[in-house]
Amino acid sequence: MLFKNNFTVSRLGRKSMNLIFLGDIVGKSGRRAVHQHLPDLIERSKADVVIANGENAAGGFGINEKIYLALRESGVDVVTTGNHVWDQRDALVFIDRHPRLLRPLNYPKTTPGKGFVHFETKAGLRVLVINVMGQLFMGQLDCPFRALDEILNANPLKDVCDVICIDFHAEATSEKQGIGHFVDGRASVVVGTHTHVPTADYQILPGGTAYMTDAGMCGDYDSVIGMDKTEPVQRFIRKIPEARLSPALGEATVCGLAVEIDETTGLAVNIAPFRVGGRLSPTFPDFWE
* 3-state DSSP percent of the chain in helix, strand and coil, to 5: 25, 30, 45
Answer yes or no: are the C-beta atoms of 231 and 243 closer than 8 Å: yes
Facing residues of 192 across strands? 168
Answer yes or no: are the C-beta atoms of 278 and 253 closer than 8 Å: yes
Answer yes or no: are the C-beta atoms of 251 and 65 closer than 8 Å: no
Q: Measured between alpha carbons, how far is residue 172 from residues 133, 134, 163, 217, 229 in Å?
A: 11, 8, 26, 17, 23
Closest by CA position to 33, among listed 225, 210, 275, 283:
275
- The continuous run of DSSP H or E covering 94 comes out as helix 91-94
Answer yes or no: are the C-beta atoms of 260 and 249 closer than 8 Å: no
- Chain-centre distance for alpha carbon 38: 15
How do strand 8-9 and strand 3-4 relate by DSSP bridges?
A: antiparallel
CA distance 103 to 111: 9
- Chain-centre distance for alpha carbon 168: 8
Amino acid at 12: L
The catalytic residue among 37, 84, 169, 194 is 84
CA distance 241 to 193: 25
Identify whether 118 is a catalytic site residue: no
- SS3 of 180, please? helix
Residues labelled as active-site residues: 84
